[in-house]
Amino acid sequence: MADITDIKSILYTEKTLALQEKGVVVVQTSPRMTKNTLKEVFREYFGVLPKSINSTRVHAKTKRFRGVTGKRDELKKFFVTLPEGAALETLAV
């Protein structure tokens, strides 16, 4: 079952804002999210059926901060291409 709580955030950086002008939204999710479940989430909650979805996995990385060893979260990034003229209400900047 698709659940919107698996989406951690929509990324807003220089690169992702340039992609948004071309109709591509970059979404960070939990590692268990799949393309099909993300497609369901976009259809259910945003009312948009994505044209295509590409994904990349960001593996956990060990880092040190002030002598304490820690670990970054593992996540997935999805590049969701929206159909022509479609927009998400939450992206109104």
Give the domain CATH number at 34. Answer: 3.30.70.330
For residue 81, pLDDT beyond 90: yes
Backbone angles phi, psi at 47, to 5 degrees: 70, 25
Structurally, how many domains does the chain consist of?
A: 1
For residue 1, pLDDT beyond 90: no
**Summary mean pLDDT of the chain:** 88
For residue 93, pLDDT beyond 50: no
Burial category of 92 from C-beta neighbours within 10 Å (exposed 0-12, middle 13-18, buried 19 and up): exposed
Cα–Cα–Cα angle for 91, 18, 85, rounded to 5 degrees: 55
Q: What is the pLDDT of residues 17-33, one digit of tens each?
A: 999 999 999 999 999 99
For residue 76, pLDDT beyond 90: yes
For residue 4, pLDDT beyond 90: no
Answer whether residue 68 is part of any domain. no
Range of the domain at 79: 4-59+74-83
**Structure token pair of residue 20:** 């948004």
